[in-house]
Each structure stands twice: as C-alpha cells, then as structure tokens.
C-alpha cells in the first residue's frame, strides 16, 4: 500500500499535480519544504523530487507513525516483514481470545472476528518491539501497515466519528504491508503544535493546510490514535471515544487569530495555503472558521499574494452540499 492509499478528510493527493505545477511555476526556490500540517503526508511525498530537505509536522500520533514508516531513513529487513505477513495471514481469528480491540470496537467499527485479529496483531507488534525483535523502522512499518489494512475494511464512511449502524459488517480484514518511500532527501519529522514549531523552522516554502471547520481530527481518527498509542484508555459513548486530547484551536472561533499568528511567524520565502469554500456550508460543523477574505488579508500582510482556483468534487459523507465546490491555493511571496 502506498502513502495515498488511506481515507482521510482533506486528502490532497488528487490535487497534487495542480499544486505542484503552481509551486514550480511561481516559486524560484524550493529546496526546503516545511509541510506545516502534514496530514496524510502526500504533499511531502509528491514534492520529494523537487526538494532536498523536507520538514513535516502533524499533531496526531497516528500521522507521526505514518511519517516514520514511509519517510524514516533507517534500514529495515523486508524479508523479515514479509514473514510477519505470512504469520498473521495464517492465524485463525475465530480461535483468538478477546482483547482490547474486540471488546471495544468489535461489532461496531470492525467485524468481531476481525477486531480480535487486529488486537492480537497490535499486541504482537508491541511485544516484539519491546523484546528487541524489531528495529524502530520495522516497528513503524508494521504498525502503519496494520492501520492502513484495517482502514480498508472499517465499518465507517471514511473517518471514525461514528460507525455505520444497522449494517451487516463483513469479515474483510487482510494484513498487508505499506510501501516505504525511498528518498535521498533529509526528512525531519515532528509532532508539535504548528504555531510553536513555526518559530523554530527556516525553509524556502511553507505549505499550510490547516483544519478550517469545527471537526477535530483527533476525534475523527480516534480509533487510529487509540490503537497507535496502545495505552488502552476507558472509552465512552456510542462511538467509543477516549477523553478529549489534541484539540485544535483552528477548529474554534479563535481560528483567524491563530492562523495570523502562524503566518506572521513563518521564516520562509514563500507561503502556500490551500483552502476550500465550505465556509457557506449548510452543516455548522463543516462551515469554515476562517473566511476566504480573512485568509487573503492575513497573507497580504506578509507579501504579494496570488489566488488560484480549481473546481473539485470532494469526498462528502454528510449533509454538506458539495456542488460548486472549489479548492483554492494562495501563494504569497514574502516581503514583496
């Protein structure tokens, strides 16, 4: 499985040819890229061939795992990892004992037997790493592979805000390996508050794609977060969520001020900001906390700003109307 092969709200993979063309045409220097809100990591991945150093950041624990699995520079034993695929494929999930995943997510996000196998594999990966049978890179590859594999069969509409009720869940989990990305670039990986990290990073280009509405990504992907951290917290409610953590100010009414603080503290030559026009959405949770006009005004305090538009049929799982949807790219040449 490749880095783009997961379901993720705001995934920019299909837009990357257009975004890459804008960057190459309008940014005279693009050696060092700061991917401020890394998300799936596809922006960094798609620009590796035109950069020499990449800095990628996201505050989700699961996304940090994905970055270390796909971009980590240390070596790993592919034959050893393939043996894990064979081992996990030969397990009869019906004979497995109950575990944290099956007890909490079985019959909800996953078929009960699938949930038992997912929990067994997660425990197995952790044990082998603690017993020094896996290198750090191998650990992250196996963990990322588990998450990508169960994401393909999860009983959801594409995120984990809730599971599909009254749905006959099929047994469909198959453990497959991700395909790590080979690059000569230096890739620095962070899991920090973006506004704080911006004060310590120097780059040629900052790529900025923050959350714009009230939907918190830490809640959207709480199942992945819980299985990655593996601290087995007590879960609550119908959706089986842990206590709140990693709540973003970009999803609150303070978003314009937080965005302005970020932009004002970026030490870069160019700022590239992606945005979509859901600020007039019928759904309050989908409605943007920052308007197009506010984005432009804030960026223009740093330099000359050009706006590019593209019609785009985005993923829509709820009540939000997706007609006349446009993606926008703001490109600011700092100091001009």
Q: What is the pLDDT of residue 281?
A: 44
Q: What is the pLDDT of residue 324?
A: 59
Q: Residue 265: inside a domain, yes or no? A: yes
Q: What is the pLDDT of residues 10-65, one digit of tens each?
A: 889 999 999 999 999 999 999 999 999 999 999 999 999 999 999 999 999 999 99
- Are residue 135 and residue 229 in the same domain, yes or no? yes
Q: CB–CB of 114/143 below 8 Å?
A: no
Q: What pLDDT band is residue 279 in, cutting at 50, 70 and 90?
A: very low
Q: What is the pLDDT of residue 314?
A: 53
- Are residue 154 and residue 104 in the same domain, yes or no? yes
Q: What is the pLDDT of residue 214?
A: 64
* Rounded mean pLDDT, 78-96: 96
Whether residue 319 is predicted with pLDDT greater than 80 in this model: the reply is no
For tokens 């509405």, the residue is 213
Whether residue 317 is predicted with pLDDT greater than 60 in this model: the reply is no
Q: What is the pLDDT of residue 336?
A: 81
* Rounded mean pLDDT, 123-149: 98
- Are residue 270 and residue 284 in the same domain, yes or no? yes
d(CA 184, CA 163) in angstroms, rounded, equals 40
CATH code assigned at 28: 3.40.50.150
- Are residue 138 and residue 54 in the same domain, yes or no? no
Q: Which domain holds residue 222?
A: 73-179+218-251
Whether residue 141 is predicted with pLDDT greater than 70 in this model: the reply is yes
Q: What is the pLDDT of residue 167?
A: 76
Query: In 3-state terms, what secondary structure has residue 206?
Result: strand
Q: Residue 25: inside a domain, yes or no? A: yes
In the predicted model, what is the mean pLDDT of the chain? 91
Q: Calculate helix-pair angle for 78-89, 112-130, nearest 10 degrees.
A: 140
Q: Calculate helix-pair angle for 222-229, 61-71, nearest 10 degrees.
A: 70
- Are residue 159 and residue 301 in the same domain, yes or no? no
Whether residue 108 is predicted with pLDDT greater than 70 in this model: the reply is yes
- Are residue 33 and residue 145 in the same domain, yes or no? no
- Are residue 158 and residue 283 in the same domain, yes or no? no
Q: What is the pLDDT of residues 161-199, one digit of tens each?
A: 999 997 789 889 999 999 999 999 999 999 999 999 999
* Rounded mean pLDDT, 259-287: 78
- Are residue 94 and residue 82 in the same domain, yes or no? yes
Domain boundary among 251, 274, 298: 251
Q: What are phi and psi of 236, to 5 degrees?
A: -130, 155
Query: Which tops the pLDDT comparison, 279 or 145?
Result: 145
- Are residue 58 and residue 135 in the same domain, yes or no? no
Domain boundary among 226, 251, 276: 251
Whether residue 246 is predicted with pLDDT greater than 80 in this model: the reply is no
Whether residue 244 is predicted with pLDDT greater than 70 in this model: the reply is yes
H or E stretch at 195: helix 194-197
- Beta-carbon contacts of 13 under 8 Å, excluding residues fewer than 6 positions away, are 4, 40, 42, 46
- Are residue 194 and residue 151 in the same domain, yes or no? no
* Rounded mean pLDDT, 308-322: 62
Q: What pLDDT band is residue 123 in, cutting at 50, 70 and 90?
A: very high
Q: Residue 184: inside a domain, yes or no? A: no
Whether residue 300 is predicted with pLDDT greater than 80 in this model: the reply is yes
Whether residue 82 is predicted with pLDDT greater than 90 in this model: the reply is yes
What is the number of structural domains in the chain? 2
- Beta-carbon contacts of 173 under 8 Å, excluding residues fewer than 6 positions away, are 110, 111, 114, 117, 118, 149, 150, 153
Q: What pLDDT band is residue 210 in, cutting at 50, 70 and 90?
A: confident
Q: Which of 145, 138, 136, 141 is nearest to 118 (CA)?
A: 145
Query: Which tops the pLDDT comparison, 127 or 254?
Result: 127
Query: Which tops the pLDDT comparison, 210 or 22?
Result: 22
- Are residue 39 and residue 124 in the same domain, yes or no? no
- Are residue 166 and residue 311 in the same domain, yes or no? no
Domain boundary among 251, 271, 302: 251
Rounded percentage of the chain residues whose pLDDT exceeds 70 = 91
Q: Residue 162: inside a domain, yes or no? A: yes
């Amino acid at each position: 499985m490749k880095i783009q092969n997961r379901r993720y709200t705001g995934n920019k993979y299909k837009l990357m040819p257009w975004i890459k063309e804008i960057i190459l045409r309008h940014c005279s220097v693009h050696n060092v890229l700061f991917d401020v809100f890394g998300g799936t990591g596809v922006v960094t991945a798609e620009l590796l061939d035109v950069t020499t150093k990449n800095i990628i950041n996201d505050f989700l624990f699961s996304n940090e795992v994905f970055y270390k699995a796909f971009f980590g520079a240390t070596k790993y034993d592919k034959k050893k990892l393939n043996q894990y695929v064979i081992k996990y494929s030969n397990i009869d999930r019906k004979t497995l004992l109950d575990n944290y995943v099956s007890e909490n997510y079985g019959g909800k996000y996953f078929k009960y037997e699938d949930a038992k196998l997912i929990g067994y594999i997660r425990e197995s990966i952790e044990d082998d790493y603690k017993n020094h049978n896996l290198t750090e890179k191998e650990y992250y590859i196996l963990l990322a592979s588990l998450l990508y594999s169960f994401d393909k069969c999860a009983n959801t509409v594409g995120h984990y805000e809730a599971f599909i009720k009254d749905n006959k869940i099929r047994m469909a989990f198959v453990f497959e390996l991700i395909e790590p990305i080979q690059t000569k670039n230096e890739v620095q990986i962070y899991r920090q508050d973006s506004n704080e990290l911006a004060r310590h990073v120097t780059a040629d280009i900052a790529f900025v794609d923050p959350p714009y509405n009230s939907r918190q990504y830490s809640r959207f992907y709480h199942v992945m977060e819980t299985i990655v951290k593996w601290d087995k917290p007590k879960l609550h409610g119908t959706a089986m969520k842990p206590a709140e953590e990693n709540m973003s100010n970009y999803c609150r009414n303070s978003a314009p001020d937080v965005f302005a603080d970020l932009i004002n503290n970026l030490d870069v030559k160019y700022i590239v900001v992606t945005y979509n026009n859901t600020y007039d959405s019928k759904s309050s949770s989908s409605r943007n906390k920052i308007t197009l006009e506010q984005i432009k005004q804030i960026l223009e305090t740093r330099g000359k700003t050009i706006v590019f538009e593209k019609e785009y049929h985005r993923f829509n799982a709820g009540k939000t109307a997706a007609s006349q949807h446009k993606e926008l790219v703001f490109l600011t040449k700092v100091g001009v």
